[in-house]
Amino acid sequence: MGFERCVGLADTVRTLWNADTCPEHLLPWLAWALSVDVWDSYWSDESKRNTIRESINIHRHKGTVGAVKRALAAAGYGDATVIEHFGRDFHNGEHLRNAAINRAKADHWAEYRVTLVRPITIEQAAQVRLILKKVAPARCHLKVLDFTQALNLHNNTIYRNGAYTRGTA
C-alpha cells in the first residue's frame, strides 16, 4: 500500500469519527462507537448529530441535572427544567400566603420533575423516560413529566386518538 493511499485513508477515517462530517447512513455506527445511550432512527439529522456530539460530555457528567438537560436538548426536546426538592421550601416562613406558590405535599428527596418547553406525544414521552433512566442518577425517580406549551385547541379540528395527553405524559 502506497503512502498516498494511507494518507487518503487517514482522512476518510477522520471524517467518519466526526459527527459533523460522518455520512448520515453511518451515524448509527458512530453513535454505537461513542456509547450513545438512546438512539432513534426517526430523529432529525441534526438531533442525531447533536446526540453524538454531546455523548462524551453526557457520560462525563452522568447523574447530574446538567447531563439530563444536555441529553434531552441533544435529542431534540429543547430546554428542559428539572425540579428537585419540590415543595421543600414552602413552609419555612419566607413565603407569603398569597396563592403564588403551590403548597402541595413535598416530594420525596429522591423524586424529581421534568418540564419540557414543547408538547410531546405519548411515544416521545416513553423515549424521554428512557433517556432519563439512562442519564439521571439511579437513586432518583421521575415523578412528573410535564410540558408548558399548549398542544391543541378545543376547536373540533383534532381527534382524541390516544397519541397525545392533556398536558402531562
Q: What is the pLDDT of residues 33-86, one digit of tens each?
A: 999 999 999 999 999 999 999 999 999 999 999 999 999 999 999 999 998 877
Distance in angstroms (rounded) separating the CA atoms of residues 25 and 41: 10
What does the pLDDT read at residue 85?
79
pLDDT in tens, 75-104: 999 999 998 877 665 555 665 555 555 556
What does the pLDDT read at residue 70?
96
What does the pLDDT read at residue 27?
96
Torsion of CA 26, 126, 73, 22, to 10 degrees: 0
Range of the domain at 131: 3-147
- Mean per-residue pLDDT for 3-29? 81
Q: Is residue 163 part of a domain?
A: no
Distance in angstroms (rounded) separating the CA atoms of residues 34 and 75: 15
Q: Is residue 33 part of a domain?
A: yes
Q: Is residue 46 part of a domain?
A: yes
- Mean per-residue pLDDT for 18-47? 95
Distance in angstroms (rounded) separating the CA atoms of residues 54 and 34: 10
C-alpha cell at 85: 426538592
Between residues 107 and 79, the one the model is more confident about: 79
Which amino acid is located at 69 in the chain?
K
Distance in angstroms (rounded) separating the CA atoms of residues 83 and 65: 9
Number of CB atoms found within 10 A of residue 75's CB: 24
Q: In this structure, are strands 111-116 and 141-147 parallel, antiparallel, or unpaired?
A: parallel
Of residues 127, 129, 149, 137, the one with CA closest to residue 47: 127
Distance in angstroms (rounded) separating the CA atoms of residues 19 and 52: 6
Q: Is residue 162 part of a domain?
A: no
What does the pLDDT read at residue 158?
58
Q: Is residue 48 part of a domain?
A: yes
Number of folded domains in the chain?
1
Q: Is residue 111 part of a domain?
A: yes
What does the pLDDT read at residue 92?
56
pLDDT in tens, 111-143: 998 999 888 888 899 999 999 999 999 999 999
Give CA angle at 54 (53, 57), nearest 5°: 130
pTM greater than 0.85 (yes/no): no
Q: Is residue 142 part of a domain?
A: yes
Q: Is residue 153 part of a domain?
A: no
